Structure 1
Amino acid sequence: MRVRGLLERAVAEGVVPGLAFGLVRRGGEAFTLHLGLAQRVPEPEALTPRHLFDLASLTKPLFTLKEVLKAVEEGLLDLDDPLSQHLPELLWLKDHPLKGVSLRALLAHTSGLPAWEALYALGEGEALKQRLLQHPWPLGEPTYSDIGYMLLGLVLERVRGRPLAAFPLPQGFSFRPPRELAVATEACPWRGRVLKGEVHDENAYALGGAAGHAGLFGTLEGVLGELRAILEGTWLSPAAMEEMLRPHGDRLLSWERKRPGWWGGSLASERAFGHTGFTGVAVLVEPERGYAWALLTNAVHPTRHRPSLHPLRRAVGNSVAAEVGP
Structure 2
Amino acid sequence: MIEAAFAPALAAVERGGVPGATLGIVTADGRRHVRVAGWAALEPMREPLTESHWFDLASLTKPIATATMVLTLAAQGRLDLDAPLADAIPDLRQYDMAAPERRLTFRQGLAHATHLPAVEPIYTYGDDPARLRAFILQRAWRAGPPVYSDLNYMLLGIAVERLTGAGLDAWPLGGGLSFGPPPGPVVATERCTWRGRVLKGEVHDENAFALGGAAGHAGLFGTVTGVLDWAQRLLNGGVPMSIVEAMRAPVRGERTCGWERRFDGWHGGDACSAATIGHTGFTGTGLWIDFDRDLAWTLLTNRVHPTRHGADAIFALRPAVGEAVIAALG
Instruction: Mark yes or no: TM-score above 0.5.
Output: yes
Cross-structure match for 1:324: 329
Cross-structure match for 2:75: 73
- RMSD over aligned Cα atoms: 1.3
Pick from 243, 246, 271 the counterpart of residue 267 of structure 1: 271
Deviations, residues 170-218 of structure 1 (Å, cap 9, x unaligned) = 1001112347611100000000000000000000000000100000000
Judge conservation of contact 2:23–2:300 (CA < 8 Å) in 1: yes
Taking the TM superposition and a 5 Å limit, the aligned residue runs for 1:3-22 are 3-22=5-24
Cross-structure match for 1:175: 179
Letter in 2 for 1:186: E
Cross-structure match for 1:218: 222
Taking the TM superposition and a 5 Å limit, the aligned residue runs for 1:1-326 are 1=2, 2-94=4-96, 95-124=98-127, 125-178=129-182, 181-235=185-239, 237-248=240-251, 249-305=253-309, 306-325=311-330
**Alpha carbons of structure 1 residues 178 and 113: separation in structure 2 relative to 1, 3 Å:** closer
Measured after TM superposition, the shift of residue 167 of structure 1 is 2.5
Q: Distance in 2 between matches of 1:286 and 1:295?
A: 14
Measured after TM superposition, the shift of residue 168 of structure 1 is 2.5
Judge conservation of contact 2:267–2:315 (CA < 8 Å) in 1: yes
Judge conservation of contact 2:10–2:21 (CA < 8 Å) in 1: no
Which secondary structure does the structure 2 equivalent of 1:149 belong to? helix
Measured after TM superposition, the shift of residue 28 of structure 1 is 4.0
Once the two structures are aligned, what percentage of the paired residues are identical?
A: 48
Which secondary structure does the structure 1 equivalent of 2:298 belong to? strand
Deviations, residues 116-143 of structure 1 (Å, cap 9, x unaligned) = 0111101231000000000011332111
Letter in 2 for 1:96: A
Measured after TM superposition, the shift of residue 41 of structure 1 is 0.4
Judge conservation of contact 2:56–2:203 (CA < 8 Å) in 1: yes
Q: Distance in 2 between matches of 1:135 and 1:296?
A: 35
Judge conservation of contact 2:68–2:243 (CA < 8 Å) in 1: no
Judge conservation of contact 2:20–2:39 (CA < 8 Å) in 1: yes
Q: Distance in 1 between matches of 2:158 and 2:182?
A: 25
**Alpha carbons of structure 1 residues 141 and 178: separation in structure 2 relative to 1, 3 Å:** closer
Which secondary structure does the structure 2 equivalent of 1:99 belong to? helix
Letter in 2 for 1:229: R
Moved more, 274-283 or 173-182: 173-182
Moved more, 159-168 or 183-192: 159-168
Measured after TM superposition, the shift of residue 15 of structure 1 is 0.9
Unpaired runs of at least 5, structure 1: none
Q: Distance in 1 between matches of 2:54 and 2:106?
A: 30
Moved more, 159-168 or 289-298: 159-168
Q: Distance in 2 between matches of 1:258 and 1:4?
A: 21
Q: Distance in 1 between matches of 2:139 and 2:30?
A: 49
Letter in 2 for 1:82: P
Report the number of matched residues.
324
Moved more, 89-98 or 176-185: 176-185
Unpaired runs of at least 5, structure 2: none
